Amino acid sequence: MTDPKKSTSMPAQVADIMDCGFATWATDEVDEALRARFDAVRIPVTGVRNVRVWGLQVDDERELPGRERTSIPDDEIWEINLEARNGSHYEVDSRMLKAAD
Cβ atoms 82, 44 nearer than 8 A: yes
At 23, which helix (H) or strand (E)?
Answer: strand 22-25
Residue at 69 is within a domain: no
The confidence score (pLDDT) of residue 72 equals 76
Check residues 71 and 22 and name the one with the higher pLDDT: 22
Length of the chain: 101
Whether the pLDDT of residue 1 is over 50: the answer is no
Q: What is the pTM of this model?
A: 0.72
Domain containing 46: what range? 11-51+78-99
pLDDT digit string, tens, across residues 45-89? 999 999 888 877 666 556 656 656 667 788 889 999 999 999 999
**Domain count of the fold of the chain:** 1
Confidence of residue 16 (pLDDT cuts 50, 70, 90): very high
Whether the pLDDT of residue 96 is over 50: the answer is yes
- The letter for the amino acid at 67 is R
Residue at 95 is within a domain: yes
Residue at 33 is within a domain: yes
At 14, which helix (H) or strand (E)?
Answer: helix 12-20
